[in-house]
Amino acid sequence: MNPYLEALQPKLSLQDLKKLSAIDNPIVHEFIAKASDLCRPDKLFICSDAPEDIAYVRQQAIATGEERAILSLQGHTVHFDGINDQGRDRAATKYLVPRGITLSKALNQIDRQEGLAEVKGLLRDSMIGRTMIVRFISLGPPDSVFTILGLQCTDSWYVAHCEDLLYRPGYGQFVKAGPKSDFLRVLHSAGRLNEDMVSVDYEKKRIYIDNMDNTIYSVNTQYAGNSVGFKKLAFRLSIRKASSEGWLSEHMLLMGVYGPNKRKTYFAGAFPSACGKTSTAMLPGETILGDDISYIRDIDAVARAVNVECGIFGIIQDVNPKDDQLIYKVLTRPGEIIFSNVLVKDGKPYWLGMGQELPKDGTNFSGAWFEGKKDEAGNEIPPAHKNARYAVSLRALENCDPELDNPAGVELGGIMYGGRDAKAYVPVQQSFDWCHGIIAYGASLETETTFATLGKEGVPEINMMSIQDFISIPLGQNVRNNLEFGKKLKKAPIIFGVNYFLRDLNNGKYLNSPQDKHVWIKWMELRVHKEAEAIKSPTGYLPKYEDLRRLFKQVLDKDYSKEDYTKQFTIRVPENLAKIERVQRFYQENVSDTPLELFGILYLQRERLLKAKANFGDYIPPEKFED
């Protein structure tokens, strides 16, 4: 027995010792032993992914009170994060950077030694009186070129239960992998908890990413985006790994879109949180492979992709039976689901925007809730949080794509980038080529801060490829990686820009309904196969009115007026020029390694806009470009 297993033996049952000993990797044993020595749990539980182990995790999540079995439908539980731990915390999330190395100024960072001392100080003795749960994860389908192994040690049964729903089991992969296998590591403690099982030392919340050791440290938080280490946290490490190995780790949905004669075309799509990503991935009649993170590889000069996960940690606000039929159906029938930060009354979960009146009292993230209840700062507490969530297996959805676990992934026909852009970009447009799409739609992706991230909402910001919060390499290098990846493909996916949040400049009303996105998706599918014409504008290829009119009738049984088309697809020259200025300024001020190609492509876009302005004025309806 190696010294690490020997050190762990007093805290392991014979069965758990046997499970851990079956993994012939001393680095695994070392990580667990050092985590145990630092956090000092009373005992360890090694989850082997056997049915009885999975059942035990769920049972303990309820027994400890981290989840409450107060919902009437079988399999439904609810978890509350408290008032002060309701989203990804940018200020508390930092990269540990060795002295002499500096990441892009847009990224939070701290001296590695200083950060390690701080976070380990907070983790020290944090698990006294508790069990450390050890989970083994397979990121991507098992036994695949895409597979990345992950190990998490946590004292939260809720976190461990979430991982059952969101990830493929990895214990068997670790057993097969042998002594030299590489893996990502996460050490998490919820910290001190109150009687409601909520992390109370939120002011000492720390989420630190150690690139040098492929390790995530998370403490004094339970919110899954900060604590389920293989969500956005390990994503940061996989971005670095992908950069060094020549593939892409992206914040992208994966979906199959049906075209004529039941043809299916696969799309990836990058959207910041609360910008329509999950609702796009779940469009009725199409198939879903994933709604969050994708690995994309060049396999025989073809872009192929997999979903890193096999479940959804989705925002529940505005999920209703009209706009989100598939997920609403899943959320309102028996099955294993963890709701978080919703309102509960008489055994039923309620959330904002669900399409019905909410109760005037109940239980929510603040405890016993009643209409008009205020927090310590005097702000009225809503019945459910804007960032309330659900965790569910993808396989619970009727439209889960059969290729979900294909070890070879799926071939991408298209990639879309979408943010919250009230003034400039049209609802859907196609790039002129791969490089134009990466720069004009991906690197220039602009959005507004939302409730999914702590801080002020509604602040416009560049969110490069929807990956900026998670990037662990120089930002310019990420742009360069994307440019080079597509140049090597024999048939690169077509890149589209989408914008569900364009507003009327006069009255501020949205120009799209939530359902309209389905038409944009169907048009993109046709464009991939060159079965729809397009109009060349200064910012990209635009749909033709007749094609959209036909698609609106086919897809939504809706009459689409020429007036709506003109409002939606008029090129707004001043707003587009201002957007280019903001993008250029961001890269000039924050990204010292920006590829010159970015500035060149933006320069050409500006010149096209200025030429169009000279010919047609500031606001140009699409038909002006048809000649």
- Residue 116 · residue 215 · CB < 8 Å: no
What's the confidence (pLDDT) of residue 299? Answer: 97
What's the confidence (pLDDT) of residue 449? Answer: 62
d(CA 243, CA 236): 11
CATH ID of 251-310+410-625, from 3.90.228.20, 3.40.50.880, 3.10.450.50, 3.40.1440.10: 3.90.228.20
19's enclosing H/E stretch is helix 14-21
d(CA 237, CA 148): 11
d(CA 282, CA 268): 13
> Is 14 buried (19+), middle (13-18) or exposed (0-12) by CB count in 10 A?
exposed
Domains of the chain, by residue range, sit at: 3-67+85-245, 251-310+410-625, 313-396
What's the confidence (pLDDT) of residue 27? Answer: 95
> Is 284 buried (19+), middle (13-18) or exposed (0-12) by CB count in 10 A?
middle
CA nearest neighbour of 142 among 175, 119, 114, 191: 175
What's the confidence (pLDDT) of residue 296? Answer: 98
The tokens for 200 are: 């109370």
pTM for the full predicted model? 0.91
> Is 471 buried (19+), middle (13-18) or exposed (0-12) by CB count in 10 A?
buried
First to last CA, the chain: 78
d(CA 304, CA 224): 29
pLDDT along the chain (627 residues), means of 10: 91 96 95 98 98 98 97 97 83 88 78 96 98 97 95 97 96 91 93 93 93 92 89 85 95 97 97 85 93 96 97 92 89 97 97 95 95 92 95 95 97 96 95 98 85 56 88 90 96 97 94 94 98 97 98 97 97 97 94 95 98 98 91
Q: What is the DSSP string of 43-101?
A: EEEE----HHHHHHHHHHHHHTTSSB---SSTTEEEE---TT--SB-TTTEEEEE-TT-
> Is 77 buried (19+), middle (13-18) or exposed (0-12) by CB count in 10 A?
buried
Q: Where are the beta strands (DSSP E) in 352-464?
A: 361-364, 367-370, 389-393, 410-419, 428-430, 446-448, 460-462
Neighbour count for residue 197 (Cβ, 10 Å): 21
The CATH number of the structural domain formed by 3-67+85-245 is 3.40.449.10
The residues that are catalytic are: 275
